[in-house]
Every structure is written in C-alpha cells, then in structure tokens.
Amino acid sequence: MTALTIHEAATTTGWSPRMLRYVEQLGLVEAPRSAAGYRLYGPAQLQRLRTLRALLDEHGLELGDVGFALRLRREPALAGALDDWFDETPAPPRTTGSPGAPVPDADWLAFEQAKHQQLLDR
C-alpha cells in the first residue's frame, strides 16, 4: 500500500470523506496531492487520523476545539489576546466627557444594553 484515496481512507478510518476534508481545512492532517490533485493518505496520515480520534474521545473534544488549539500554537498574538481577556477584570467604561469619569455602576447595565442594541441595529 502506497497511499489511499479519500474514499478508501474514509472506509479504513471511519471518518467520512467530508470530515477528512474538514480535518484538512483545520490544518490537523495534511494529505499530499497526486499529480491529478487527489488527496492521498499514507501511513502517516492514517496514524494521525487514528490518534486524532483517540484524542477527541479521551478528552471529550470536537474537531473545532483541536483546530482552535492549533491556531493558538501558530498565532502567538491570538494566544496573548485571549490571555489578556481571561485576566482582565470587568470595569465600567469611561464617559466621553472630560476628564472621562467611569460610568456609574447604576448606569453600567443600561450603557452595555444600548451599546449592544446599536450593534444589532446595523
């Protein structure tokens, strides 16, 4: 066996051809292409698909979760932005007037609702 087509790989691994395309789209398993452009799955790709299935099952993950984890590894700015967001303590926004005092707690909820309504009205 040199390589399997996407349909043969799907039959062998239990993943559907559509899911194999999605796995590739997420960057989790890359199948080289034949001269005609067909995906070819060799032993390395089949092993990655098997261990991916085990990872998902063992940890209760979905493919998108693993794809996002891969993005975090590849995009340090995204990882940093998320770290900042997790560490941030919610604080009232500042008014636009001088000197930019915080919006009073009593008005904070109304401020946030109005801001979200403006986004919905666009």
pTM, entire model = 0.74
Return the pLDDT at 93: 79
Going by pLDDT thresholds of 50, 70 and 90, the confidence category of residue 51 is very high
pLDDT of residue 1: 58
- DSSP state letters, the chain: ---B-HHHHHHHHS--HHHHHHHHHTTSS---B-TTS-B-B-HHHHHHHHHHHHHHHHHT--HHHHHHHHHHHH-HHHHHHHHHHHHPPP-PPBPSSTT-PBPPHHHHHHHHHHHHHHHHH-
Residue 39 has pLDDT above 70, yes or no: yes
**Domain ranges within the chain, ordered by starting residue:** 6-81, 92-121
Q: Does domain 6-81 have CATH number 1.10.1660.10?
A: yes
pLDDT at 97: 63
Out of 10-14, 22-26, 71-75, 107-111, pick the least confident. 107-111
pLDDT digit string (tens) for 95-120? 766 567 777 777 888 888 888 888 89
